[in-house]
Amino acid sequence: MSSRQTKTFLMERFREVGIQPATRHGQNFLIDLNLQQLIVDAADLSSSDVVLEVGTGTGALTALMAKRAGAVITVEIDGHLFELASELLLDFENVTMLKHDALKNKNQFDSRVLEAIGRELDKDNERRLKLVANLPYNVATPVLSNLLSSPYVPHSLVATIQKELGDRIVAKPGTKDYGALSVWMQCQADTEIVRIMPPSVFWPPPKVESAIVRIVVNKDRRSQVPDLRYFHQFVKAIFIHRRKFLRANVVAAMKQHLTKEEVDAVLAEMEFAPDTRTEQLDVDTLLRLTELVRVRAPDWTL
């Protein structure tokens, strides 16, 4: 097999084995060779890196990364694609292939993925984890979000995702795309969109634009969040109705844990105006608000 994943190559190869891309798995293959290389370059891979790839596909991106990284752990849920990729990746001794869903559920990675990561990281104290992937749209949000709260905190994440999701990740307070995901990413990482991509660079073409995003974890910023899980849950709760007034959102989120009077006391300490909306608050302000709530309701969870 060739590692040069062009549209012609893919169509002929799929015809040979009698399969079609599976829409239920979000299979859209990147056929622009320059963009494949851009993804690898954006990840800045070295022999110290352990790469996690979710969505092996035919293995073209995997092969590019294996030439630079110390190890690549690649996960593919589709049995047909797993077999195709196995042929291409047969000679790469630093590639571990897993055939199952990368996620246990929407909030957790599969334990087999975490165990594989742990084994590779344990081989050298200098090793660091990076996610690099052409992510299926239907799992992009949980994969990115969950890896940042997993036992193995990544150094960085570089992925192709739906442009709409990329816009949400990098959004600023007060904009239409700013929400809980923006806050979760930006409270612990530097985020940027590397490139916007039209549907034509994929086969089959999706119905929307895509983006390459780069998310680099900032350890100092991450360490300033006293309780990451609590912060993540609280932010998700108060952003459910982002256009409503902040007071209504906090009261709804903390019902049975804080009275309205206690919520008002917190908001007064923060010196919020009565018409303050959740979507107006930057990450630092949300961190301060969360801590005032956590002191009063430490056992709260969604």
What is the secondary structure of 192-244 as a DSSP string?
EEEEEE-GGGEES--SS-EEEEEEEE-HHHHHT-S-HHHHHHHHHHHTTTTTS
Residue 258's pLDDT is 97
- Determine phi and psi for 24, rounding to 5 degrees: -65, -20
Euclidean distance between CA atoms 23 and 1, whole angstroms: 24
Sign (positive/negative) of CA torsion 218, 224, 228, 232?
A: negative
269 lies in the same domain as 289:
yes
CA 1 to chain centre: 30
Does the pLDDT of residue 1 top 70, yes or no? no
The answer to the question of residue 55 being in a domain is yes
2 in a structural domain: no
Among 181, 205, 223, which residue terminates a domain?
223
- Collapsing DSSP to helix, strand or coil, 157 comes out as strand
Residue 22 pLDDT more than 90? no
Q: What percentage of residues in the chain have a pLDDT greater than 90?
A: 89
The whole-number average pLDDT for the span 197-210 is: 95
Given 181, 201, 223, the domain boundary residue is 223
pLDDT (0 to 100) of residue 14: 87
pLDDT band at 25 (very low <50, low <70, confident <90, very high): confident
Distance CA 155, CA 210 (A): 23
- Coil, helix or strand at residue 59: coil
| 297: nearest Cα among 246, 245, 250 | 250
Last residue of a domain, one of 223, 248, 272: 223
The reply to whether 171 and 196 lie within a common domain is yes
Residues 162 and 209 in one domain: yes
Neighbours of 23 (CB within 10 A): 11
Residue 238 covered by a domain:
yes
Return the DSSP state at 190.
E
Q: Is the pLDDT of residue 26 over 60?
A: yes
pLDDT in tens, 157-190: 999 999 999 999 999 999 999 999 999 999 999 9
**pTM for this entry:** 0.93
The pLDDT of residue 180 is 97
Which sign does the torsion angle of CA 256, 261, 265, 270 carry? positive
Q: Are residues 153 and 262 in the same domain?
A: no
Residues 150, 280, 284, 263, CA torsion sign: negative
Q: What residue numbers bound the domain in which 275 lies?
A: 228-296
- Domain CATH number, residue 257: 1.10.8.100
Number of domains in the chain: 2
Nearest-angstrom CA–CA distance, 194 and 200: 18
Query: Could you tell me if 147 and 109 are in contact, meaning their C-beta atoms sit under 8 angstroms apart?
Result: yes
Residue 157 identity (one-letter amino acid) = L
Q: Contact, 95 vs 72, CB < 8 A?
A: yes
Q: What share of the chain is helix, strand, coil (3-state, %, to 5)?
A: 45, 20, 35
Could you tell me the two tokens for 6? 């062009």
